[in-house]
Structure 1
Amino acid sequence: MDVIQSIRNVFVPIHRAGYPFIAAFVAAAVLLGLLWQPLFWIGLILAVWCTYFFRDPERVTPISEQVVVSPADGHVSLVGHVVPPPELELGIEPMLRISVFMNVFDCHVNRAPMRGRIARIAYREGQFQNAELDKASEVNERNSVVIETPQGEIGVVQIAGLVARRIICWSATGDRLEAGERFGLIRFGSRLDVYLPGDARPRVAEGQIATAGETVIAEFGSTASAWPFRRD
């Protein structure tokens, strides 16, 4: 069963946004091969990587209005309370922010962290610095989505990185999303920030690996308390 699951994790559906890029990589490999055969194999390896990059696997999302799931695959790079970006219009009081950094080998399809209605979307031009840096949330190009949830408004920010040059958000203001539902994608390497209100408590630690639509990154509720973590 482990072997079958491993195969399923590799051979998964490809998101349609990747088709033009995959075709371009394959065409480039063929053209380079006409010039010098070893270049074909290099181009083919890059085409395989491009196909893997745009994979869009199914996910099993926990159904609860108390939990927040990761919006992206990657590792948790930042957990703390900060003032949200002004374009979110979520006030000037610090909110819990959990950041998930995606490298070029992570799945880049973004998913809604909670069920709710999109209240507003704000795109902001910016720089393309390393998305792992804390200041990337302020200076980098980004697309901000505010979702009205049963726990209040939350912010989800798609942040471009060093390699990323295109943020895609196919959802629109007024759309209703289920937790774990796909709403966007970033090419190629980037970060997702989630801003949470009230009594949200983190359920992940910096450095932890998160899976979009599955990993619980935070929890609401008066009885929720911070979990301890151990590195080993």
Structure 2
Amino acid sequence: MIVKQGLKFIALEFLLLPLALLSPYLLIILLPIIALTILFFRDPDRGIEDGVVSPADGKIDYVNDRRLEIFMSIFDCHVNRSPVDGIVRKIVYSKGSKLPAFMRHTNSERNEIYIETDHGTFKVVQIAGFLARRIICFVKEGERVRKGEKIGMIVMGSRVVIEIPEGFKFVKRVGDRVKAGETIAVKA
């Protein structure tokens, strides 16, 4: 399945295909671009596990007691999911620079989604990287979300952060690869 936001990019690339057939060089360039675009905008079905689940696919490159950060390369699925059942209480979008996503920094463009639950507030932060040109948020303030529900995506390489309230502990470590919907934290 492909995320609907990617269909226009894929359609445009396919419209260029007849032009590329005029030159083998253009074809050699366009076919990998089409393949990467389809790969990037894929939206695979996911099984949703118990506990607090990962909001994104990627490699964990930072963890402390309350915060876990996931670097998403251009080869990871970029659809972000809610880590818990709850109500979206606040969404805060901030413009900023577009530094490489593999670097941990605080002044990049970001979208913070605060999800209130009976156990406290969880925060998911979508951070745009150097290649990312747009953060897309699928949810609105006041909306109820289910664990594993799609809450947004970041176009191209990026980073997703999750902050958890007291009473939970992360079960994943730096260097672990995760998939959206996979357990990353449990009740302490």
Question: Normalising by the residue count of structure 2, what TM-score does the alignment of the two structures yield?
Answer: 0.95
> Cα distance, 1:40 vs. partner?
1.3
Match of 2:24 in 1: 37
Aligned-residue sequence identity (percent) comes to 39
> Cα distance, 1:170 vs. partner?
1.5
Match of 1:131 in 2: 101
Q: Any idea what SS the aligned residue of 1:31 has?
A: helix
* Superposition RMSD in Å: 1.3
> Cα distance, 1:159 vs. partner?
0.2
CA distance in 2: counterparts of 1:151 and 1:134, whole angstroms: 28
Q: Deviations over 1:127-175 (max 9, x none)?
A: 111222221xx11000000000121011100000110010000210011
**Which residue identity does 1:125 align to in structure 2?**
K
1:93-108 alignment runs, 5 A limit: 96-108=66-78
- With CA pairs under 8 Å and 6+ residues apart, which has the higher RCO, 1 or 2? 2
Does structure 1 residue 55 correspond to structure 2 residue 42?
yes
Does structure 1 residue 206 correspond to structure 2 residue 174?
yes
Structure 2: gaps (5+ residues): none
Write out the 4+ residue segments of structure 1 that deviate beyond 6 Å after TM superposition: none
> Cα distance, 1:30 vs. partner?
3.2
Contact 1:30–1:40 at 8 Å: present in 2 too? no
Using the TM superposition, name which of 154-163 and 19-28 deviates more: 19-28
Q: Which has the larger radius of gyration?
A: 1
Contact 1:74–1:106 at 8 Å: present in 2 too? yes
Q: Deviations over 1:158-205 (max 9, x none)?
A: 000110010000210011111111010111010110011112211101
Question: Normalising by the residue count of structure 1, what TM-score does the alignment of the two structures yield?
Answer: 0.78
Does structure 1 residue 72 correspond to structure 2 residue 56?
yes
> Cα distance, 1:17 vs. partner?
0.8
**Which residue identity does 1:205 align to in structure 2?**
R
Contact 1:70–1:211 at 8 Å: present in 2 too? yes
Contact 1:29–1:41 at 8 Å: present in 2 too? no
Match of 1:14 in 2: 2
Match of 2:84 in 1: 114
Structure 1: gaps (5+ residues): 1-12, 82-95, 222-232
Contact 1:114–1:179 at 8 Å: present in 2 too? yes
Match of 2:140 in 1: 172
Q: Any idea what SS the aligned residue of 2:33 has?
A: helix
CA distance in 2: counterparts of 1:26 and 1:77, whole angstroms: 36
Q: Hey, which of these two has a bigger chunk of strand by percent?
A: 2
Contact 1:99–1:191 at 8 Å: present in 2 too? yes
CA distance in 1: counterparts of 2:170 and 2:43, whole angstroms: 26
CA distance in 2: counterparts of 1:18 and 1:74, whole angstroms: 20
